[in-house]
Chains A and B, each alone.
Chain A
Amino acid sequence: MTIQFNEETFRDDYSFHNSDWAIKRFPFPFHEDSYMYAVNMEQHRGGPEGSVYEKRFDVDEHYVSEMRDRAMVLADDPLRCQSLPHMTLAGWDLLELIMVSKSEDYPDLFELHRNGNQWRWVNKPLGIDDTFTFLDETTLPYGPMEYITRQAQGDFCVLDQRDDMLWMDAGMVTTQADWSLDFDIGMNFFEWHAPVPLAHEMGIFKRALKFLLNIQQGAPARRLNWTMTVNPLLDTSPENYHKWGIQKTTLTPENIGAKQHLRVELQTFFRLPRSNALVFPIRCYLCSFQDLMTMPKWGRRLHRVVRDLPEELATYKGFIDNRPMMLDYLSQFDDGLPTSRGVWPDLDTEPALKKSS
C-alpha cells in the first residue's frame, strides 16, 4: 500500500493523530486482563499482514513527522546521538540492515542500488537521494548510525558484546520513555536497568541477558513494553522533564480521553554481522485513551490492567497520581464481560459495550 503521511506535531499544539488504520494496527500490549513483567520474547520474522510486526522496520503514517521531530530534538541537544569510537563498524552494519530491509520491504518508498562499495540510497518520503562509499565515513554527512537513524522511526541502542555482557556504547535516543543515553552511555546491561523495580528480584534481567547474548544472525527477536504519556510526546526524556513532567498535572475528567496516551514500545533485536554487536531498536507507538476505547475488548482490558497493576509499577511508569482519574474514565468502558485471549482487537467477535443503566 502507499502510505499517506500525516502532517502533525508531537509538541506545542500536539496535532498528532491516528487514522482508523493506525488505531486498528496499534500494538496493544496486553494479551490477558492483567500485567506482570516477563521476558516475553518471540522471534521477529514477520506477522499478520498490515500489522506492525509484519516488516523488519515498520513505516507508518507518522514517519515524516517523527523524523522532523527527531531533527528538532537533535538540534537542541546533540548528545541524544552518541557513538563510542569502536562502534563505527556497528554503525555501518546498522545502516546496511535498515537500507536493505526498507528497500526490500517498501520498494515504492525506498531504493538501494549497490555496485561494490558504491551505494546509492533513495528515500522518497524524505526527499533524499545520496551516493556514498560503504565503510567510508567521509562520504556521508553524518556518521553511519546517525545518518540512517535520522531516517528511521524509533530509538536505536547499539550494544557492544564483550565478556558475556552487553554495553550501551552507541545510540540514537530521542523518543524515549524517561531514560537518557547521555547518562547510560558505556554502561552494561545490569547498570542501565538498575532503576527498574521488582524485575531484578524476579531474575528477569539475568534471563533476558542470556537470551540476548544468544541472538544470532538471521534470527531477530522482539518484545513489547509499555508506559503512559500525557499528550502525544515523543521526547519524554529526563533532560526535558521540566517541560513535560508538569503536563501530567493538566489532566481533567473532561480531557483525559484525548490527552492520556498509552505508549507502547515495539522492541526488536538484531545481531549485526561485521561487528558482532546487537542493535536494539525501540519503536514508540502512541494511542489516546479515547481512540483505544473504540475497540470494546481493549476498553475492558485496559481498565482491568490499570486497576490491578502493582503500586511499584504504576509509580515507576509515572502514573500513580493520575491512576484514580484514569480508572474513573476507563471504568465506563468495562461492563464486566469476559475478554478473548491475545492482543488482537477481535472487533468482529467481541461484543459491543453493554451500556450500564
Chain B
Amino acid sequence: MSAAPQKAKAGAEKIDVTVSAVVPLNELVTRFEFKAKDGRDLPTFSAGAHTVVQMNDQGRTRLNPYSIMSDPADTSHYAISVRRDDEGRGGSLFMHRNVKVGDEMTITFPVNLFSLDLRARKQVFIAGGIGITPFMAMIAQMERLGGQWELHYSVRTEALGTYVQELSYKHPGKVHVYYDDQSQAIALEDLLDGQPLGTNVYVCGPKGMIDWVHATASAAGWPDANVHSEEFTKPQPGKPFQVRLCKSDKVIDVGEHESLLEAIERSGVEAPFLCRGGACGQCETDVVSFDGDFIHRDHWLDDDQHANGSKIMPCVSRFVGKSLELDR
C-alpha cells in the first residue's frame, strides 16, 4: 500500500536531552544522567534496553550504545554508566573528558535486544565488570514485579567494584560479588546445578565470560533459549579500504579508525542502524561484488553468509582486498 509513504529513518527515533548529573564512581567508571530537554518524562523502557548516545567530537559524530541502568519505573531521567577505555576509538574518552552537567545531547529511543523472559520462574544474572549496567535496571524491575532473582557479579578489585556497595546493601543475600584480585571466581557449574526448573540465566560482560556461560550451561543440559547474553562488539580499527556504493553511485574511503558504517554516513548516504554493535541486524547490506577477504565481526549473519560473501554488517565488519561493491 502507499497511503502516506514516509522514508524509514536511520536509527531509532531521537530524543533531545540535557545532562543532569555526572557522577564519577571510581577510577574508570562515571555515571551520566539525562533528562528530556523539553522537561517532559522520557519514554518508558524495559529493563535490558540500550540507548545510542550521539557525541559531537570536534565535528566528528560518534554514536555509542550504552545500557540504560536506571529504574524503568522512573522515567524522569535515564542513567548510563561509561567505562573509560583508553585504548578504544574515543567515545568513552569523550564522555569522560568533555561531557558536563547542562550539556545538550541527542540520544535514541530505548531499544531492547536483551529483554527479560517474563515466563521465567527465576532470573539468574551474571555480570562481569561494566556488564553490570543492564542488570541494575533488571533488578529494579524484578523487585517491582516481586520476581525471584540473584546476581553473581565478578569485578577486578574492590576499588573497581562499580555499584557493589549499593547492591550489597539493598539486596543482602541476593547479590554475590567475586573479586579477581582475591582469586575468587563464580562456581558456575554448581550455580547452574542448583537452579529450579524454569530458571533463566543472563550474562553480560567480556566475550570470554559470555562464551564460558553459554558453553557451561549447554554442557549441563540447559536449553539455549534459557540462556541470554548481550555483547556489543566495538568496531575495531583496521587497514583503510575503498568501497563503491552502487545505489548512491559513490566511491568512499574507509579510514583506519572508522567503521564502514561511519564512512557511509560521512559520505552523506543514510544507512539504517540500531545497535552499531553487530547484534541487531538492522544495517545488513548486500554485497554486489568483491575481490578480497571480509573480516566479519558481527553476531547476526550465519556462517554460510559469512563464508559466501553475500552480505556484510558495516557497523563492525571490514574488508581487505582489491575491490568491494555494496548495494547501498
Contact = CB atoms under 8 A, between A and B. Distances in A.
B117 A214 contact: no
A166 to B, nearest CB: 13
Nearest to A272: B46
Contact of A274 (B6, B44, B281): B44
Contact of B3 (A96, A160, A275, A343): A343
Nearest to A160: B118
Given A29-B1, A40-B1, A276-B112, A217 B43 contact: yes
B2 A31 contact: yes
B81 to A, nearest CB: 21
B217 to A, nearest CB: 15
Interface string B88-110: 00000000000000000000011
B282 interface: yes
B12 A217 contact: yes
Contacts of B225: 162-163
A87 B225 CA distance: 18
Contacts of A218: 12-13, 43, 109
Nearest to A162: B117
Interface residues of B, number: 33
Interface in B66-124: 72, 109-112, 115-119
A214 B281 contact: yes
B46 to A, nearest CB: 4
Nearest to B3: A53
Contacts of A96: 44
A31 B43 contact: no
B167 to A, nearest CB: 23
Interface residue tally of chain A, by bracket?
35 or more
A262 B280 CA distance: 38
A257 interface: no
Interface string A84-111: 1111010000001000000000000000
B22 interface: no
A126 B88 CA distance: 59
A39 B145 CA distance: 37
Contacts of A161: 115
B5 A42 contact: yes
A214 B280 contact: yes
Contacts of A85: 119
B43 A273 contact: yes
19 contacts: A40-B1, A42-B5, A43-B6, A45-B6, A48-B3, A53-B4, A84-B119, A162-B225, A216-B12, A217-B12, A217-B13, A217-B109, A218-B13, A219-B13, A219-B109, A275-B46, A276-B115, A343-B1, A343-B3
Please list the 10 inter-chain residue pairs (A to B) with the smallest Cβ-Cβ separation, ordered nearest first.
A273-B44, A218-B13, A47-B4, A276-B115, A86-B118, A276-B46, A86-B119, A218-B109, A224-B1, A276-B112
